[in-house]
Amino acid sequence: MDKGIDKSKKFRAANLMIALIGFLGLLLIFFPQDPRTAAVTFTGTMHIALAGITSLFTLISVIFMGINYHKVPEWKTFSIYSIVSFIVILASGGMAAISVASNSGYGGLFERITIFAFMI
């Protein structure tokens, strides 16, 4: 791989965000989501705040990796895949947010699609 690619600001920022995503994921253990019919609590509010920050970092890290690897001929396919993943994460994440906000039973499904697309 090109030595300059792993020195770029986007690459380093994406890696930092991935580490932060892992840390925020651990924090979510202490802040479970409120059940759909329950009253709003501090832990539920913190869950939403941490999930929102995690979502933003997820989107930025995936698009930064896609842009960064577009410069390397051997990684162009991965770059395109990252950009497609960004679109899937953005769409399913948006649907998850809408579903959770409207107390729909599909929020969890869209959350799993979002997480699955990021993990791949």
pLDDT tops 80 at residue 2 = no
Give me the phi and psi of 39, to 5 degrees please: -70, 155
Residue 8 to residue 79: CA distance in whole angstroms: 15
Does the pLDDT of residue 5 top 80, yes or no? no
Question: pLDDT by residue (tens digit) across 20-64?
Answer: 999 999 999 999 988 877 888 999 899 989 988 998 999 999 999
pTM of the entire predicted model: 0.79
Tokens of 55: 């979502």
Residue-wise pLDDT for 63-82, tens only, equals: 998 988 888 888 889 999 99
Query: What residue segments make up the domains of the chain, in order of their start?
Result: 5-119
Q: What is the pLDDT of residue 88?
A: 95
Higher per-residue pLDDT: 3 or 36: 36
State whether the Cα torsion 28-32-37-40 is positive or negative: negative
What integer pLDDT is reported at residue 108 of this predicted model?
A: 86
pLDDT beyond 80 at 3:
no
Which of 66, 72, 80, 70 lies closest to 2, judged by CA?
Answer: 72
